[in-house]
Structure 1
Amino acid sequence: MVGKRFALGVPACVAAATICAAPAVAQAVSPPAPASPATAASPDPAPAGTALQDEVVRLRAEVEALKAEMRSLRGEMAAAGQPAAPVPAAPASEAQVARAAPPAKPADAGKPAPGVLAATAWKGAPEFRSDNGWSFKPRGRLQIDGGYLAAPASRFSGQADGRGVTTRVRRAYLGAQGTIPGGFSYRAEVDLGTNAVSWVDLLLAYDKGPFNVTIGQQNAFTSLEQMQSDLFLTFNERASFITAFNLERRVGVSMGYRGKSFMANAGVFTDDLSSLTNDGDKSVSYDGRVVWMPRLGAAQLHLGGSAHYRRLGDFQATLGSRYRARPYIATTDIRYVDTGILTVEDETQYGLEFALNRKRLHLAGEAAWLRVGRPADRSPTFFGGYFEAGLFLTPDSRGYRNGTFDRTVPTHPLSAGGIGAIEVNLRYDRLDLTDAGIGGGTQDGFGSAIVWTPVDNVRFMANYMHLLYDIPNAQPRFDADVVGLRSQLDF
Structure 2
Amino acid sequence: MKTISSLACSASIAACLATSHAFADNLQDAALLKLLQEKGIISAEEAQSLQAEQAQRAQQQATVSMGSKGLKIESADKQASIQIGGRLHADYATHDHEAFANQEDAIDGTQIRRARLYAKGKLNGRWKYVLESDFAGNKVSVKDANLSYKLTSAPITLTVGNQKHAVSMEVEESSNDIMFTERSLVAALTTPYFDRAIGITAASGGSNWHAKAGLFGDGISNNDADEGHGFGARASFAPVLNDNTVVHVGASYGLRKTSDDGLANGKSPSFSYKTTNFSDLKPVNASVADMDKVEVGVLEFAAMHGAWSVQSEIAANNVSRDSGDDLSFSAHYVQLGYSIFGGQRRYKASEGEFKYFNVNTPFNASTGDWGALEVAARFDQIDLEDDNISGGEAKRFTLGLNWYLSRNMRVLFDYSRSYDLDGGAIQNDKGEVADNIDSFAIRTQWAF
* Residues 1:126 and 2:67 are matched in the alignment: no
Q: Which residue of 1 aligns with 2:95?
A: 149
Higher radius of gyration, 1 or 2: 1
Partner of 1:62: none
Q: Distance in 1 between matches of 2:112 and 2:127?
A: 33
Partner of 1:324 in structure 2? 272
Residue 166 of structure 1 corresponds to 109
Answering whether residue 234 of structure 2 is matched by residue 289 of structure 1, we say yes
> Residue 317 of structure 1: CA displacement?
4.0
SS, match of residue 106 in structure 1:
helix
State the Cα deviation string for residues 378-435 of structure 1 (Å, max 9, x = none): 2211111100111111222111112101111211111475211111011101111111
Whichever residue aligns with residue 445 of structure 2, its letter is: Q
Note the residue ranges of structure 1 that are not aligned, 5 or more in a row.
1-95
Q: Give the alignment partner of residue 251 of structure 1, picking from 193, 198, 202.
A: 198
* Alignment CA distance shift 1:98-1:403 (3 Å): same
Q: Which amino acid aligns with 1:153?
A: A
Gaps of 5+ in 2: 1-40
1:184 aligned partner = 127
Does the CA contact (< 8 Å) of 2:284 and 2:424 recur in 1?
no
Q: 1:467: which partner in 2?
A: 418
Q: Is 2:402–2:413's contact at 8 Å kept on the other side of the alignment?
A: yes
For residue 226 of structure 1, give the secondary structure of its aligned residue in structure 2. helix
* 2:249 pairs with 1:303: yes
- For 1:123 and 1:476, the matched residues in 2 are separated by 48
Aligned-pair CA distance for 1:250: 0.8
Mapped to 1, the partners of 2:42 and 2:54 lie a distance apart of 24
* Partner of residue 273, structure 1: 220
Output the CA distance in 2 between the equivalents of 1:392 and 1:99: 55
Calculate the TM-score normalised by the size of structure 1: 0.75
Identity %: 24
Aligned counterparts of 1:110 and 1:414: Cα–Cα separation in 2: 40
Pick from 227, 235, 240 the counterpart of residue 185 of structure 2: 240
2:354 corresponds, among 380, 383, 405, to 405
Give the Cα separation in 2 of the matches to 1:310 and 1:436. Answer: 21
Alignment coverage as a number of residue pairs: 389
Distance 1:118 1:441, change over 3 A: same
SS in 1 for 2:412: strand
Kindly state the Cα deviation for residue 292 of structure 1 after the two structures are TM-superposed.
0.7
1:317, 1:343 within 8 Å by CA — same for their partners in 2?
A: no
For the structure 1 residues 99 and 240, does the alpha-carbon distance in structure 2 shift closer, same or farther, using more than 3 Å as the test? closer
Distance in 2 of aligned mates of 1:100 and 1:256: 53
Describe the shift of the 1:359–1:99 C-alpha distance in structure 2 as closer, same or farther (beyond 3 A): closer
Q: Which residue of 1 aligns with 2:385?
A: 434
1:471 Cα deviation after fit: 2.9
Alignment match, 2:160 = 215
Q: Please give the alpha-carbon distance, in whole angstroms, between the structure 2 residues aligned to 1:251 and 1:100.
A: 60
Q: Secondary structure at the match of 2:52?
A: coil
Output one character per residue of 1:279-331: Cα deviation in whole Å (capped at 9) or x when no partner.
Answer: 22x1111111110113355311110000111111113449741211101x213
Verify: 1:199 aligned to 2:142, yes or no: yes
TM score, norm. by length of structure 2: 0.81
Partner of 1:231: 176
CA displacement at 1:181 relative to structure 2: 1.4
Q: CA RMSD in A?
A: 2.3
Q: Is the 8 A contact 2:71 2:85 kept in 1?
A: no
Residue 476 of structure 1, CA deviation? 2.8
Instruction: Give yes or no for contact 1:390–1:423 (8 Å, CA) kept in 2.
Output: yes
By relative contact order (CA 8 Å, sep 6+), the higher-ranking structure is: 2
1:156, distance to aligned residue in structure 2 (A): 5.2
How far apart, CA to CA, are the structure 2 residues paired with 1:215 and 1:181? 17
Quick one: distance in 1 between partners of 2:305 and 2:150? 29
Structure with more of its chain in strand, by fraction: 2
Which residue identity is paired with 1:485?
I
The alpha-carbon distance between structure 1 residues 185 and 342, as it changes in their structure 2 partners (threshold 3 A), is same
Change over 3 Å in CA distance of 1:154–1:210 after alignment to 2: same
Matched residue, 2:282: 335
> CA–CA distance in 2 between the matches of 1:339 and 1:222?
21
SS of equivalent residue, structure 1 residue 105:
helix
Distance 1:300 1:342, change over 3 A: same
Q: Is the 8 A contact 1:128 1:136 kept in 2?
A: yes
After superposition, the C-alpha distances for 1:247-295 in whole angstroms (9 at most, x for unaligned) are: 32111000012112222111001111001x2222x11111111101133
CA distance in 2, matches of 1:254, 1:417: 47
